[in-house]
Amino acid sequence: MLMVFIGPPGVGKGTQAQRVSAHLGVPHLSTGELLREAKEAGTSWGVAAGQYMDAGQLVPDDLVVTMVAQRIDQPDCRKGCLLDGFPRTLPQGEALDQLLRERIRRLDVVVALDAPDDELVRRLIARAEIEHRPDDTPKTIVRRIEIYHERTEPLLAYYKRRGVLETVPGLGTPDEVFQRVAACVERRRP
């Protein structure tokens, strides 16, 4: 099953993708995680990406698309994968379509998690106490949420037109949200 999680920072994409990944037995691919690993490893592109991330900006499309293309060609993605945080712009959405066409694969569902901005800020401020992500500062959190509304939200209409969009409220406990996500997955399972 090939699935995309879209949603603003802090809505629970990572939390839910991890659970769905265990449920379906397909890998969880978070572009944020892959980029943080590349930054940690000190590769030149990882370091360059890190500068965008720490400022709460999006990393350039071509870099992210190349990274995803390499990752989904790994053998563990043969039966599918869950993309968390990709695509995040319309050009990335178009690039994903192209990439899947070339591989004769199909996107089964796009799950859009949503929650009010003030809840997102609360969650990320709370996470900052535990995880110390460099982009979890009050100013950067607000910037990331703004960029989500400007650059990522237009993808919702793109996927709605294609008939693959499922919108899931992200409020409630992680278990409650998972029940909703799992129901969408079952409806869309090929």
Q: Does the protein bind Mg ion through residue 14 (CB under 5 A)?
A: yes
Question: Minimum CB separation from ligand AP5 for residue 73, in Å?
Answer: 17
In this chain, which residue has its C-beta nearest to ligand AP5? 32
Alpha carbons 114 and 24: distance in angstroms, whole number: 22
CB atoms inside a 10 Å sphere around CB 126: 12
105 catalytic? Reply is no
Beta bridge partners of 45: none
Outline where the chain has alpha helix (H).
13-24, 31-41, 44-54, 61-72, 90-102, 117-131, 138-147, 154-162, 174-188
Judge contact between 95 and 165, C-beta under 8 A: no
Alpha carbons 24 and 31: distance in angstroms, whole number: 19
88 catalytic? Reply is yes
79 catalytic? Reply is no
Q: Pick the closest to residue 53 from 120, 133, 118, 131 (CA basis).
A: 133
The residue from 53, 109, 155, 181 that contacts ligand AP5 (CB under 6 A) is 53
Q: Does the protein bind ligand AP5 through residue 14 (CB under 6 A)?
A: yes
The residue from 85, 107, 111, 181 that contacts ligand AP5 (CB under 6 A) is 85
Could you say which of 19, 36, 39, 88 is catalytic? Answer: 88
Which of these ranges, 71-79, 98-106, 154-162, 169-177, lies near ligand AP5 under the rule CB under 6 A?
A: 169-177
144 catalytic? Reply is yes
Question: Minimum CB separation from ligand AP5 for residue 60, in Å?
Answer: 7
Please, which residue, 57 or 167, has the CB nearer to ligand AP5?
Answer: 57
151 catalytic? Reply is no
As annotated, the active-site residues are 13, 88, 127, 133, 144
